[in-house]
Amino acid sequence: MATIEFVDVTKEYPNAKTPAVDNVSFTVHEGAICMLLGTSGSGKTTLLRMVNRLIDPTSGEIRIDGVPTTQQDPIALRRSIGYVIQQVGLFPHLSIEDNVRVVPSILGKSAAETRDRVDELLHLVGLEPAEYRKRYPRQLSGGQQQRVGLARALAADPAVLLMDEPFGALDAITRARLQDELLNVQRGVRKTILFVTHDVEEAFKLGDQIVVMSEGKLVQEGSPIELLAQPASDFVRQLVGADNILRQFEYQPVTAALEPATDAAQERIAADERLLPALLRLIQMRNGALAVVRDGETLGQVSLASVFASVQSIHRNASAASGEHNRSADSAPVIR
Amino acid sequence: MHFLKHRAARELAASLIRVVKEIEWTMIAKMLQFIGDPTNTFWQHTIDTLKLSIVPIILALLIGLSLGVLVARRPVAAFISANLTGLMRAVPTLAVLFIMILYFNQIGFLPSVVALTVLGIPPILLNTIAGLRGVDPSAIEAGQGMGMTQQQVLFRVQIPLVLPVIAAGVRTASVQIIATVPIAGLIGGGGYGDYILAGINLLNIPQLLVGAVGIALLALLAEFALAALQRAVTPAGLRATEPAAIAPSARRSPVGSLADV
User: Is A92 in the B-facing interface, judged by CB distances under 8 Å?
Assistant: yes
Averaged pLDDT for residues B139-167:
92
CB spacing of B249 vs A135 below 8 angstroms: yes
Name the nearest CA neighbour of A30 among A1, A7, A66, A52: A1
Q: Which residues contact B180 (CB under 8 A, 6 or more apart)?
A: B93, B116, B119
Distance of CA A220 to the CA centre of its chain: 15
- The string of pLDDT tens digits covering residues A12-43 is 999 888 999 999 999 999 999 999 999 888 99
β-sheet bridge partners, residue A301: A259, A291
Q: Check residue B240 and give its pLDDT.
A: 62
CA-to-CA distance for A8 and A18, rounded, in angstroms? Answer: 16
Position B27 confidence tier, pLDDT thresholds 50, 70, 90: confident
Q: Which of A79, A87, A134 sits opposite B245 (nearest CB)?
A: A134
**Which of A121-135, A178-192, A255-269, A321-335 comes out lowest in average pLDDT?**
A321-335
Strand A81-85, strand A160-164: pairing: parallel
Q: What is the CATH number of domain A245-321?
A: 3.90.1280.20
CATH (residue range A4-240): 3.40.50.300
CATH assignment of B39-235? 1.10.3720.10
Flag whether pLDDT at B256 surpasses 70. Answer: no
The SS3 of residue B147 is coil
Q: Which of A95, A126, A132 is facing B258, going by the closest CB pair? A: A126
Q: For residue A90, which residues of chain B lie inside 8 Å, CB to CB?
A: 139, 142
Q: Domain boundaries in chain A?
A: 4-240, 245-321
B147 interface with A at CB cutoff 8 Å: yes
Taking a C-beta distance cutoff of 8 angstroms, is the pair A121, A80 a contact? no
Residues of A in contact with B140 (CB under 8 A): 89
B236 touches chain A (CB under 8 A): yes
How does strand A297-303 pair with strand A192-197? unpaired
* Per-residue DSSP letter, B156: I
Q: What is the pLDDT of residue A254?
A: 85
Averaged pLDDT for residues B41-57? 95
For chain B, give the percent of residues with pLDDT over 70. Answer: 90
Choose from A107, A136, A154, A173 for mutation: most chain B CBs within 10 A.
A136
Interface residue A48 vs chain B (CB under 8 A): no
DSSP state letters, A130-152 = HHHTT--GGGS-HHHHHHHHHHH
What is the residue extent of each domain of chain B?
A: 39-235
| DSSP reduced 3-state for A300 | strand
Q: Do B145 and A94 touch (CB under 8 A)?
A: no
What are A148-163's pLDDT values in tens digits?
Answer: 999 999 999 999 999 9
> Residue A266: what pLDDT?
79
Q: Residue A41 and residue A197: Cα distance in Å, rounded? A: 12
SS3 category, B39: helix
Report the pLDDT value the prediction gives residue A320, as an integer from 0 to 100: 59
What does chain A come to in residues?
336
The verdict on ipTM greater than 0.90 is: no
Question: What are the pLDDT digits (tens) for B196-229?
Answer: 999 999 999 999 999 999 999 999 999 999 999 9
